[in-house]
Amino acid sequence: MAILCPSTAIYHLLFSFLLLFFLCYVGNTPVCGDARDGYHTLDINSLLPKSNCTAPVGGGSQGLPITYSYGPCSQLGQKKSPSRQQIFLQDRSRVRSINAKIFGQYSTQESKDGWSPESMDTLNEDGLFLVNVGFGTPQQKFNLIIDTGSDTTWIQCNSCSLGNCHNKKTFNPSLSSSYSNRSCIPSTDTNYTMKYEDNSYSKGVFVCDEVTLKPDVFPKFQFGCGDSGGGEFGTASGVLGLAKGEQYSLISQTASKFKKKFSYCFPPKEHTLGSLLFGEKAISASPSLKFTQLLNPPSGLGYFVELIGISVAKKRLNVSSSLFASPGTIIDSGTVITRLPTAAYEALRTAFQQEMLHCPSISPPPQEKLLDTCYNLKGCGGRNIKLPEIVLHFVGEVDVSLHPSGILWANGDLTQACLAFARKSNPSHVTIIGNRQQVSLKVVYDIEGGRLGFGNDCKH
């Protein structure tokens, strides 16, 4: 009979640990989270927000802090979260505007009014993420919405004349010694107009001044200085445009230093902080990264990736990868809920329901029908429940395990927690990976390298 001596046992234990580590970071297993054997052991109270803001740890301390637009970490004074109905309505507008920009599906009236697909968007502050950026010398700091779908960075200026400016901080060019007016812009057309799906708009001129992305400072940065507007933009002061445009985008204007690289960690709850990093720091600080290819669609708009499948509790859904390929899949910071093709969504919902039989299902209110698979977590038999792991599979053997907050969206008392995915309203629309599914993931955009990375080293 073979005898396993203690040293041999220790050797095998150490070998097993190293093998597991290798598989998590190199092999075909997902970007590793806390799921075991296809399930999260979820303390349902972890889905609830807290009243105090927690300090960032690790990645958060190295970059610009990211906050929700509401909650205890928000610098906008909005402590109460918006209703899900409000978020969903604005999210639908965002999805419509994305598809209209990509496919040019604008009405004749919009064309007559002078609005172009490039100037149309949706500014949905509710459910979005903000970052604090400095403009001018000395710095005037503003909370801007992070938007990977917008080329233009713009802020409201103190000349803003309409009523929608009274509840936000505005930029005062006269207080900045480094400010330059439109003469610094190489183009002969220095005006800009951003119109949004809800008929809000911002109009102004392109100007130049220093922008500070702490600790880096960029002189003569070109941005929109809004002098008029209409509708409701919330209390954010503007937009930090992180799309890959060639002239006015932040990505292009900072390319000499940042090499068209940036990353973010979106916080999973309102009381936690995320981080935004630029340049080599966005990649070098992330040993767990796995990269998939960034595609180049004919429209040139959006960050397109090749989603090829989804798994629930380690079981691959029986759906063809071609479902996601036509017309394509984008990852977006401004859409909240991921939109899937109907066949893929129904397969996901069925598989999820089969794994959630231990929790009582409920019907959501009619105004919240966007999410149609909901549960009363108080009736699951205890504080800790088994939550099936959901993994998104991308080309290049990149498998991304979602955080529990990217799987379930719970209300304030846990009596309604819904699968945080929805079906596309139009089969011709693109598949969209929303920001809810990106929480607690390190998402890295390497535009020059033509790749998108996912990692698990966000700390909140």
Question: Which amino acid type is present at position 190?
Answer: T
Residue 31 and residue 25: Cα distance in Å, rounded?
7
According to DSSP, residue 81 is labeled: P
Residue 216 and residue 24: Cα distance in Å, rounded?
34
pLDDT digits (tens, 9 = 90+) for 104-122: 754 333 333 333 334 445 5
Give the residue from 314, 382, 364, 440 showing the smallest Cα distance to 83: 364
Topology agreement, domain 30-51+288-455 and domain 59-275: yes
- 320 neighbors 296 (Cβ within 8 angstroms): no
pLDDT digits (tens, 9 = 90+) for 131-172: 999 999 999 999 999 999 988 899 999 865 545 555 568 999
Q: Is 147 known to be catalytic?
A: yes
- 120 neighbors 110 (Cβ within 8 angstroms): yes
Omega cis (within 30) before 186:
no
Of 121, 147, 151, 209, catalytic: 147
- DSSP E strands in 242-312: the ranges are 261-265, 274-278, 290-293, 303-305, 307-312
Can you give the pLDDT at residue 165? 55
| Domain spanning 30-51+288-455: CATH 2.40.70.10 | yes
Can you give the pLDDT at residue 9? 45
Can you give the pLDDT at residue 300? 75
Place of tokens 């970490």: 73
pLDDT digits (tens, 9 = 90+) for 270-296: 899 999 999 999 987 677 899 999 998
Question: Which amino acid type is present at position 234?
Answer: G
Q: Is 113 known to be catalytic?
A: no
Q: What is the mean pLDDT of residues 84-91?
A: 88
Indicate if the pLDDT at residue 345 is higher than 80.
yes
**What tokens does 297 get?**
């669609």
Q: Fold for domain 59-275?
A: Cathepsin D, subunit A; domain 1 (2.40.70)
Q: What is the mean pLDDT of the chain?
A: 83
Domain boundaries, the chain: 30-51+288-455, 59-275
Can you give the pLDDT at residue 14? 42
- pLDDT greater at residue 329 or residue 287: 329
- pLDDT greater at residue 151 or residue 218: 218
Residue 294 and residue 275: Cα distance in Å, rounded?
22
Indicate if the pLDDT at residue 31 is higher than 80.
no
Contacts of 357 (CB under 8 A, 6+ apart): none
- 446 neighbors 291 (Cβ within 8 angstroms): yes
Of 126, 332, 399, 446, catalytic: 332
- 75 neighbors 143 (Cβ within 8 angstroms): yes
